Amino acid sequence: MVLGGSEYEREISTIAPRLNISVAKAKRKAERTFYQMAANPLRPIYLSLAFLAKVIIHQLFSYVRVSGLDKLEAAALQHPVVIIPAHRSHLDYILLGSLFYEARLNTPLVAAGVNLSFWPIGFFLRSAGAYFIKRDAARDHIHSLVLKRYVTYLIKAG
């Protein structure tokens, strides 16, 4: 769904000449980009990381106060939800993922810098729902196209 359809064909056909490559080569690059980018949540890994997150949170904080989760849950039943934390630290998405998991809500997929995609960290992050993006995505037309289509797919899928 991300790398198909008439709109994708039109967009990739427009990008290929700008990059002085064939459409077939642009499609192969888009496919590689997608597989380097996409999250691949794995339940056993996620369960292990959720337990680890809970331990870390309890070690760092005496308590965590949660408010508004009921409103978020109601909104999530009606519409796709995009959460944009301040990202003052990596604890933002760890806390959110842990809270959502405990509340039995779909855990969020998280945009992560491609610099975090190295082994073994990248494997664990991808398995917990991270997808990897270039910080300068606007300069890479194929990465930008795949990112736009992937995020659009994720939002439509809820």
pLDDT digits (tens, 9 = 90+) for 24-71: 999 999 999 999 999 999 989 888 888 888 898 889 989 888 899 999
Residue 132: its pLDDT value, please?
A: 96
- DSSP reduced 3-state for 128: coil
* pLDDT mean over 15-31: 97
CA geometry: angle 49, 120, 89, nearest 5 deg: 60
Q: What percent of the chain has pLDDT over 90?
A: 51
CA 15/CA 92 separation, integer angstroms:
36
Give which of 115, 133, 58 is closest to 91, Cα–Cα. Answer: 58
Per the structure block, which two tokens stand in for 143?
Answer: 């990465």
Which one-letter DSSP state was computed for residue 1?
A: -
